[in-house]
Amino acid sequence: MRYPRDLLGHGPSSRIAWPGEARIAVQFVVNYEEGGENCVLHGDAASEAFLSEIVGAQAWPGQRHWNMESIYEYGARAGFWRLHRLFSERQVPVTVYGVATALKRSPAQVAAMQEAGWEIASHGLKWIEHKDFDIERERAEIAEAIRLHTIVTGERPRGWYSGRCSANTLDLVAETGGFDYVSDSYADDLPYWHEHAGRHQLVIPYTLDANDMRFATAQGFNSGDQFFSYLKDSFDVLYAEGAAGSPKMMSIGLHCRLVGRPGRAAALARFLDYVKGHEKVWLARRIDIARYWTETYPFQPNENRPSRLSEETFVDRFGGVFEHSSWIAKRAFAGELSPATDTATGLHAALTAVFREASEEERLAVLKAHPDLAGKLAEAKRLTESSTEEQASAGLDAVTDHERERFRALNSAYVEKFGFPFIMAVKGRSKDEILAAFETRIDNDRETEFDSACRQVERIALLRLRDMLPD
């Protein structure tokens, strides 16, 4: 069974590079939703109830909510122009998430966006909830959003963000095609590639934490100082990571009716000035980041990843990781494979879980499947390829007559006492270290040594996987 969520991502240290050796890419989004929100004038069943100054707002079925409407109108009439001045005066590039119906109702604002060189990405047809849409209805809404956006702006949108999306949104946008990126994800500090139905789509994750929406949510920002402090701390951490060789991206989400209020706009202005006071900062639109990423880190198809293999191929490739015990690979395949198991560490965890869950008799059979060290099978050159390489790396293929006799005596005594061969992950060890461990462990009781042997089997499996897969 394949688990579709990717909980690994770029891993512990993503060694990417931004243009000009920038330590951080900073991206500002202005959400333009005013005139596209839920409203009975727009044919919706009820008024808007999301992201306003009204504490505990509720939708009013079949009625206009005058206060809600006027709060949204503030964003278009006053907040937008305040943000437009702040960014234009500082020459900071902006991406707009534009709701198509909102853009259509605001031609002056659209013209100002275009004159400033702002990117206008699609924020859907209307600023409404999509979680209960069936696939065909949402597909039709996406198509209509693209059509209307193109008419209003003169250009097809190259970026997409629904925001109030469904579980199908990302896949539907990928199916639609023609988008340089989609941002309906909060999964990372860097872009990544999403695959669906034979297509690949760049995802540039967005943010809900470095976002002025928290002025309108419980336990959010109460003052501009809190907003500024949070943005500054976020920037400082990411900037330091970039200075240490692991650059990231910082997204800041803004709304005309929220941060466009004077007391909050002051905090945004301070943050803009703070960012511009640092060197090696790439201020970019999302489309710029998308195009750079696509050119520099293009999609790399890899159907040989463990989670993508057929059962037959998977077992053939990994069935020998635990010596002569392909049943472990079969059970792991029948379990849960995902992108997290496509690395040596991840696949080792999956295989090891099967081994640890097995009965004592099954684990004993795995121990017995291992050859003696410097034993008869080695002399007869009948070891598996992996065992041959491992024993050779420790010099066990070139023992003296005296060492051979010592290994034979210890092997015989060990098997007689415990009922399974002495097992040790010998890669990188010397003959003296191996003999010393042999002579120490042979004095253990059976329970202790059974556990030690199992741990060594797991260690051998990990070393083998590291030769087969990246980590």
- What is the residue whose two structure tokens read 């050159």? 381
* pLDDT tens per residue, range 223-276: 889 999 999 999 999 999 999 999 999 999 999 999 999 999 999 999 999 999
pLDDT at 378: 47
pLDDT number for residue 453:
94
Helix (H, G, I), strand (E, B) or coil at 397: coil
What is the average pLDDT across 85-114? 97
Confidence of residue 86 (pLDDT cuts 50, 70, 90): very high
Using an 8 Å Cβ cutoff, are 174 and 187 in contact? no
d(CA 52, CA 54): 5
Please give the distance of CA 206 from its chain centroid, rounded to a whole number: 12
Dist. CA 47–CA 176, nearest whole Å: 30
pLDDT for 377 beyond 80? no
pLDDT at residue 180 tops 50 = yes
> What are 283's two structure tokens?
């201020």
Q: What is the pLDDT averaged over residues 128-146?
A: 90
Burial class (CB in 10 A: 0-12, 13-18, 19+), 75: buried
Average pLDDT, the chain: 89
Which of the pair, 460 or 44, is modelled with greater confidence?
Answer: 460
- Conformational region of residue 313, where left means phi above 0, alpha means psi within -120 to 50, and beta covers everything else: alpha
Relative orientation angle of helices 169-176 and 135-153, to the nearest 10 degrees: 60
Nearest Cα neighbor of 173 from 187, 190, 161, 155 is 161
DSSP letter assigned to residue 127: B
Give residues with Cβ within 8 angstroms of 64, minimum separation 6.
Answer: 39, 40, 41, 47
Full DSSP string of 26-64: EEEEEEE-TTSBS-GGGT-SB---SSSSSTT----BTS-
Tokens for 48, please give them.
């808007």
Three-class SS of residue 277?
A: coil
Per-residue pLDDT reduced to its tens digit, 299-345? 988 888 999 999 999 999 999 999 999 999 999 999 999 999 999 99
- Give the pLDDT mean for 403-408: 78
Please list the active-site residues: 370
